[in-house]
Amino acid sequence: MSTQRLYRVTFLNQGQVYEVYARKVSHGGMVGFVEIEKLVFGEKTTLLVDPAEEKLKTEFADVERTYVPIHAVVRIDEVTKKGAARIHAVSGDSAKVMPFPIYTSGGGDNKK
């Protein structure tokens, strides 16, 4: 019996760090984006409810796949056990990750 792969994907979104678990992660069909599919959340039968995970469940309720800009991805880990999906704010001293500069093909103001 083969085990299904499980990935923990950490990315930045609107000043917050999202940590989600998914069964499939790939470079996808859109250049510059990471495709995340089959998001995994905790069981609804558990007694304790994590508000951060519930917020993520609501945000991604009807999403089949999501595309995250490559420069927003902090890391992708293949894990053996699922943890709690969470959102937390990026704060002053703990903000050690800087996003890469964004490439634009506009060429600037040098065109004549």
101 part of a folded domain: no
Domain that holds residue 39: 6-89
**Tally of structural domains, the chain:** 1
> Tell me, what's the pLDDT at 8?
93
Tell if the pTM clears 0.75, that is, is over it: no
11 part of a folded domain: yes
26 part of a folded domain: yes
> Tell me, what's the pLDDT at 96?
60
38 part of a folded domain: yes
29 part of a folded domain: yes
pLDDT digits (tens, 9 = 90+) for 27-63: 878 888 999 998 887 665 556 666 777 788 888 888 8
Phi, then psi, of 72 in degrees rounded to 5: -90, -15
102 part of a folded domain: no
79 part of a folded domain: yes
